[in-house]
Chains A and B, each alone.
Chain A
Amino acid sequence: MWHYILKRILLTIPTFVGIVLLTFLLIHQAPGSPATGSAGGFGESGVSAADHARLRAQFELDAPIIVRFGHWMKRVVCFDFGQSFADGRPVSQRIAERLVPTLTLTFAIIAIAFAIVIPVATYAATHPGQLVDKIILAACVGFYAIPPYILGMILILLVGVALNWFPFAGLTSDDFATLSTWQKFKDVISHSALIGSCFLIPLVAYLVPFVRATMLSVLKEDFVRAAHARGLSHRRVMLCHVLPNTLRPLLTVMGLIVPAVLGGSVVLEVMFSWPGMGRLLFESIHDRDYPVIMGMTVLTAMIVLGVTLVVDLLYAWADPRVRYV
């Protein structure tokens, strides 16, 4: 087992370097440059040739790309991601202030999704083919089919504007600083309700049929029938035998979902002016803010690889039949 973990960790290193190198090359080859990006469009906004040259020198833009990659890598190994081209602040600070809301939102969404999915899917799986089951499945297909940006617009117009239940822009109100801790908490929650729903609704709509189908196949297994035959109550069979075997395949899916939600949705965060990772990425690509883009790439790659690793290990723990050699 330890041998497997070590091998697994060592294997992530080439993957990680590959992701980072590819992103570095792509973003530096893309048209536009931070010199024109951060000083407005070159030529239109009257950045003088001298200023332009000074910015290029400051950002090391004239060095060969491989040299720049080398310099950047050298700093990254010491956890120095450099300063943002856009506002000169350290990249780590810029990312950290966006990562906190995104992380919180991610784990809140996943927890809420589970709290909804498990009872709903269990009900559907234990009443297959009945009217309620069919309604649940139809609703899931419907909600999953709505693109998130359409869902976002519907929620903004319906719940935000027409009903005026939740604010739909930003993370905090203008008078945030004057609020008490409890009010601050409520303020952030209400500002995140709509964008959170945009993540939550498709996720639940995706997971319910998945968990239902898994549970249906577990319910058909011999050991469930045998557990009933041993005199265990229906509740106990469901909780101690059916559910653990149902949730096991869900781990794999979680490994795909966590990075997807954590990376943030560019479209949704821009739409709701919500200060998360997605919008930071959008802004920094727009500004050609190479250090921030690269910092986010490193972080996202680390999170994705880390989550995949944890999921693999959890899988081995949850299913004794999968013990790697």
Chain B
Amino acid sequence: MSERSAHSMFEVTDLSVRYARGEAPVLRDVSLTIDRGESIALVGDSGCGKSTLALAAIRLLPKTACIRGSIVLRGDHRAMPVDILGSDERAIERVRGRRIAMVFQDPIGSLNPVMRIEKQLAEVLRVVRGASRSTARRAALESLDRVGIADPIRVGRAYPHELSGGMAQRVALALALAGEPELLIADEPTSALDGIVQAQIVELIRETQRQTNLSLLLITHDMAIAKSLANRVCVIEANRLVDDCPIDQLTASNRHAATERLIQAAEFKRSAAITLMERTP
């Protein structure tokens, strides 16, 4: 386990979650910290509780969930620390989108199906950045341009179902980044996309991080994606955090068995892909 750093901007301490009283916990005593500008990958098999951690971090777990522990957003030195689990709903609404943002696995499903893209963007810009009605539309098109959409006007007029998965994930990123957050939580942002688009989205997130001092909490089951984006990897297995190591020490010999397994899985996937490519004439 890594020692807690003095300038961490996001701290999860002894977090335990169960979805209903009396049920088995989904997370047990998980602690982790994220530094300013740092990228953490939370890796684990499906069902191990990593998405639960992501939802807890932005307090979107169902109201019936029983949560213990603490989550604190410190942010930069200007802003007051926010107790994510203890604050009232109003305070959390001001944190969401503005200081902590999130993108989801299913990009099309995370957009309102009956609202044009530019209207969804304009709405967020108005609410989060206080843009006026007239400037919001132009700002919406600009933000589409910033996430690498070549034809912002056409995409802005489109409805979510008219977009490809990669395009929709770019839109979802534009929506998440609209409030210039300090921390971006990306819950399997590339799992629903195919290979080349995955690489493009990864590159887009990396590029955004380079331009802004954005911290990243990446949730993934794919060690390859984790390696390409994160500088630290936290491994969850069976609802507990079992490993936490810098990316360059990932190949050291004394890693936890779960970490080894995930690395092997990623390598197997890569070699399978290479074999497939060699076979294809």
Q: Which of A221, A225, A233 contacts B60 (CB 8 A)?
A: A225
Q: Which of B89, B114, B128 contacts A230 (CB 8 A)?
A: B128
Interface flag for B206 (CB, 8 Å): no
Query: Which of chain A's residues 137-195 have a Cβ closer than 8 Å to chain B?
Result: none
Contact B159 A321 (CB under 8 A): yes
Interface residues on B, range: 20 to 34
Determine how close the nearest CB of chain A comes to the CB of B103; give it in whole angstroms. 8
Given contacts A228-B60, A230-B128, contact A244 B94 (CB under 8 A): no
Chain B residue, CB-CB nearest to A318: B114
Contact A231 B159 (CB under 8 A): no
CA distance A234 to B63 in the complex (A): 14
Interface flag for A229 (CB, 8 Å): yes
Given contacts A320-B159, A321-B161, contact A228 B113 (CB under 8 A): no
Contact B114 A244 (CB under 8 A): yes
Instruction: Enumerate chain A residues within 8 angstroms of B127, measured Cβ to Cβ.
Output: 230-233, 236
Contact B97 A229 (CB under 8 A): yes
Interface flag for B98 (CB, 8 Å): yes
CA distance A223 to B112 in the complex (A): 6
Query: Which of chain A's residues 205-237 have a Cβ closer than 8 Å to chain B?
Result: 221-223, 225-234, 236
Mark interface residues in B237-265 (1 if CB within 8 Å of A CB, else 0). 00000000000000000000000000000
Given contacts A319-B113, A320-B161, contact A222 B89 (CB under 8 A): no
CA distance A229 to B120 in the complex (A): 13
Interface flag for B123 (CB, 8 Å): yes
Contact B123 A222 (CB under 8 A): no
Most chain B CB within 10 A, of A226, A232, A236, is at A226
Interface flag for A67 (CB, 8 Å): no
Q: Which of B60, B97, B101, B162 contacts A232 (CB 8 A)?
A: B97
Contact A241 B112 (CB under 8 A): yes
Contact B98 A231 (CB under 8 A): yes
Instruction: Enumerate chain B residues within 8 angstroms of A231, measured Cβ to Cβ.
Output: 93-98, 101, 124, 127-128, 179
Determine how close the nearest CB of chain B comes to the CB of A163; give it in whole angstroms. 43
**Interface residues of A, CB < 8 Å — how many?**
23
Determine how close the nearest CB of chain A comes to the CB of B158; give it in whole angstroms. 9
Contact A320 B114 (CB under 8 A): yes
Instruction: Enumerate chain B residues within 8 angstroms of A244, measured Cβ to Cβ.
Output: 112, 114-115
Interface flag for B176 (CB, 8 Å): yes
Interface flag for B109 (CB, 8 Å): yes
Chain A residue, CB-CB nearest to B110: A226
Instruction: Enumerate chain A residues within 8 angstroms of B162, measured Cβ to Cβ.
Output: 320
Contact B159 A229 (CB under 8 A): no
Instruction: Enumerate chain A residues within 8 angstroms of B110, measured Cβ to Cβ.
Output: 222-223, 225-226
Determine how close the nearest CB of chain A comes to the CB of B105; give it in whole angstroms. 8
Determine how close the nearest CB of chain B comes to the CB of A217; give it in whole angstroms. 13
Instruction: Enumerate chain A residues within 8 angstroms of B159, measured Cβ to Cβ.
Output: 320-321
Contact A228 B96 (CB under 8 A): yes
CA distance A194 to B162 in the complex (A): 49
Listed A/B pairs (6) with beta-carbon separation below 8 Å: A225-B110, A229-B97, A231-B97, A231-B98, A232-B127, A236-B127
On A, residues with C-beta under 8 Å from B are 221-223, 225-234, 236, 240-241, 244-245, 248, 318-321
- 5 shortest interchain CB distances as A-B pairs: A231-B97, A226-B110, A222-B109, A231-B96, A320-B159
